[in-house]
A and B are shown apart, each in its own frame.
Chain A
Amino acid sequence: MTAEKLHDAIGLLPSDLIEEADRRRQKGPRPILWKRYAAMAACFLLVACCTWLTTRMMASGRATESAVKYEAAAPAAAAPAEDPSFQEAPAEDIPANGASGGTRAEEAPAMDTAEPEAIHSDTTETTSEFCVHSVPTPLKPSTACFGSASQVTLVTSRTELETYLADKDWIYDFTNVQEVCIAFDEAWFEDHDLLLLAVHAAYTDVPYTVTSIENTGGTDSKGCDWYVVYTTPGEGHPEGETTCFHLLTELEKGLISPEDSILTIADPIY
């Protein structure tokens, strides 16, 4: 067989095949530019998604970094054994504009011998003058653990609270928190603010609470405006499951400004 025979055979192809091809020929050239732009748009979208995910993960780890750095410097200075600024201070006694209630000790202070009332994960009790809700918020299975650190957020309205819960929903199981937050409606936020403290890699068999909230009065070397001290079991606890907790601390409206910087301090009790 020769190529010419093949050509002759092609000349005898059925008319419907010829007509179909001829219709497309007569429509004129079809632009292919859209494919290039579609590919470029797909690449851009992919890069944007990766950037967004990376930013979220970095933002989640930022509080970890600051808290760890502070704790690493803690043993350098001596601390008085009984510094009243680290007792369970009532919220009303904390100065609003930076007047310091006492010298800030950098070492973890000795706790009051009277232990705070036991707070279990699904109950709400008042320890000092703070009303602290200690709510378990397990990490979602697909989320990596961010280590033994904490993150703090101040919300001043119901909208901000819902935004927080929505933004962090991919990290935590907020089922228990949602139930507690039912009480925090817009009317409640007219007189209160809410401090949300997420404690990671914690233990369920040790009570959690916020023990003090102190204004630094500008004395902090890193420029933090507030210290929020909370209890944690510390290292070496032999038993207990690991999970995460949200400590929801009710505050007087306007006590902490949204522009203020807050440093959380883990205060081991063991």
Chain B
Amino acid sequence: MEDEQIVSLYWQREEAAIRETETKYDRYLTKIAYNILADHEDSRESVNDTYLAAWESMPPHRPSVLSAYLAKLTRRISIDRFRYRTREKRLGSEYAVSLSELGDCVSGGNTTEEIVNVRLLADAIGIYLRLQSEEARTAFIARYYFLDPIKEVAATCGISESKCKTLLHRTRVGLKDYLQKEGFCL
């Protein structure tokens, strides 16, 4: 069933919307959740919470690309679950490893004098990514948004793992420089 038809079912408050969503995107969303949580049971719960969140958000939302919309919901839910359950503990999930990688871009210290506006930061990162090559942009988003393992990111881009690591490293370094120039206190 096409995305447009599934969204219409949500708007019509048809329970078939959730069944169709599960049929089409269950595996896709489970993978995103597992990348963050590294646990099958927790991933299952996150995906179920995603369906509930989708039901409650449509209407008023009417996404044109349902997969990206659901991925955003799953990602946020899974990260919140991760933080809730393992706030001080590091697991072997891709989210944990990606956090340490992104630590290259920030000081990690407590800069109490400046409050970061997350949305402004998101806009700045978006502008920076648009300036990069398609390969770098895809690799960055696949790694830090979808939290895919390096091996899968390399396969998506059609490059070797070592080249992928180098590409991501350069992109992170460039992002740090860009954010500093834009006035963000890192």
Give A contacts to B, CB under 8 Å: 1-15, 17-22, 24-32
Contacts and interface: CB of A to CB of B under 8 A. Distances in A.
Given A4-B83, A25-B148, A10 B71 contact: no
Residue among A3, A10, A26, A31 with the most chain B CB within 10 A?
A10
Interface in B63-82: 63, 65, 67-69, 71-72, 75-76, 79
Closest 7 CB pairs of A and B: A30-B158, A29-B155, A12-B122, A21-B141, A9-B121, A3-B102, A9-B122
Given A10-B144, A20-B138, A25-B146, A1 B156 contact: no
A22 to B, nearest CB: 6
B156 A25 contact: yes
Given A3-B102, A21-B137, A29 B158 contact: yes
A9 B186 CA distance: 14
B129 interface: yes
Contacts of B111: 1
Contact of B141 (A9, A13, A27, A30): A13
Given A7-B95, A25-B156, 12 more contacts: A1-B185, A3-B102, A4-B83, A5-B118, A6-B102, A8-B118, A11-B72, A11-B75, A14-B126, A18-B71, A26-B28, A31-B158
SS class of chain A's interface: helix, strand, loop or mixed?
Answer: helix
Contact of B106 (A2, A11, A13, A20): A2
Contacts of A14: 126
A6 B67 contact: no
A13 B76 contact: no
A105 B108 CA distance: 96
A21 B129 CA distance: 11
B117 to A, nearest CB: 9
Interface string B144-163: 11101000100111111000
B52 interface: no
Contacts of A32: 158-160
B106 A10 contact: no
SS class of chain B's interface: helix, strand, loop or mixed?
Answer: helix
Contacts of A25: 138, 142, 146, 148, 156
Contacts, number: 118
Contacts of A17: 126, 129-130, 137, 141
Interface in B19-73: 28, 63, 65, 67-69, 71-72
A93 B142 CA distance: 89
B16 interface: no
Interface in B158-186: 158-160, 184-186
Given A1-B106, A2-B106, A11-B79, A21 B142 contact: yes
A10 B75 CA distance: 11
A32 to B, nearest CB: 5
A30 B158 CA distance: 4
B72 A18 contact: yes
B118 A9 contact: yes
A36 B87 CA distance: 44
Contacts of A12: 118-119, 122
B72 A6 contact: no
Contacts of A6: 102, 105-106, 121, 125
27 contacts: A5-B116, A6-B105, A7-B144, A8-B79, A8-B118, A9-B121, A10-B125, A11-B76, A12-B122, A13-B126, A13-B129, A15-B65, A17-B129, A17-B137, A17-B141, A18-B72, A21-B146, A22-B65, A22-B71, A24-B156, A25-B138, A25-B142, A25-B156, A27-B156, A29-B156, A29-B158, A32-B160
Given A10-B145, A25-B142, A3 B103 contact: yes
Contacts of A31: 158
Contact of A11 (B105, B145, B186): B145
Contacts of A21: 137-138, 141-142, 145-146
